[in-house]
């Protein structure tokens, strides 16, 4: 969640998460879940709403060393040929078109 709310900051769109108008961040901070089920996340943090918001703000401003998918993607670059080889190895087939025939559960 922290990574999602901080993406606009990382991208240089805004200086802080609360300034990005398309984010649900403000709904958590101001306890107004218009479009977001804030009760679920805040309830995990603390049953007391004010304390939960305080913990949420603290969590969101903490520096983190989380390795997220976008970080991993930046580290690993494949040529198309290498990507095809990897896919063939993972699906144990030379026919990569088999992926189109898989349902979502099989593809995972």
Residue ranges per structural domain of the chain: 2-61, 78-107
- 24-78 confidence digits (pLDDT tens): 998 888 878 778 888 999 999 999 999 999 999 999 888 777 666 655 555 667 7
* CB neighbours of residue 45 within 10 Å: 17
CA distance 66 to 2: 10
Looking at residue 83, its pLDDT comes to: 83
């Amino acid at each position: 969640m922290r990574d999602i709310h901080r993406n606009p900051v990382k991208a240089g769109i805004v200086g802080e998460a609360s300034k990005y108008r398309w984010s649900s961040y403000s709904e958590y901070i101001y306890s107004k879940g218009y479009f977001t089920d804030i009760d679920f996340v805040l309830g995990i943090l603390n049953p007391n709403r004010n304390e939960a918001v305080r913990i949420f703000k603290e969590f969101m401003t903490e520096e983190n060393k989380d390795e997220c998918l976008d970080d991993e993607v930046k580290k690993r670059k494949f040529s198309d040929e290498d990507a095809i080889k990897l896919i063939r190895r993972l699906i144990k087939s030379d026919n990569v078109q088999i992926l189109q025939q898989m349902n979502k559960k099989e593809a995972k």
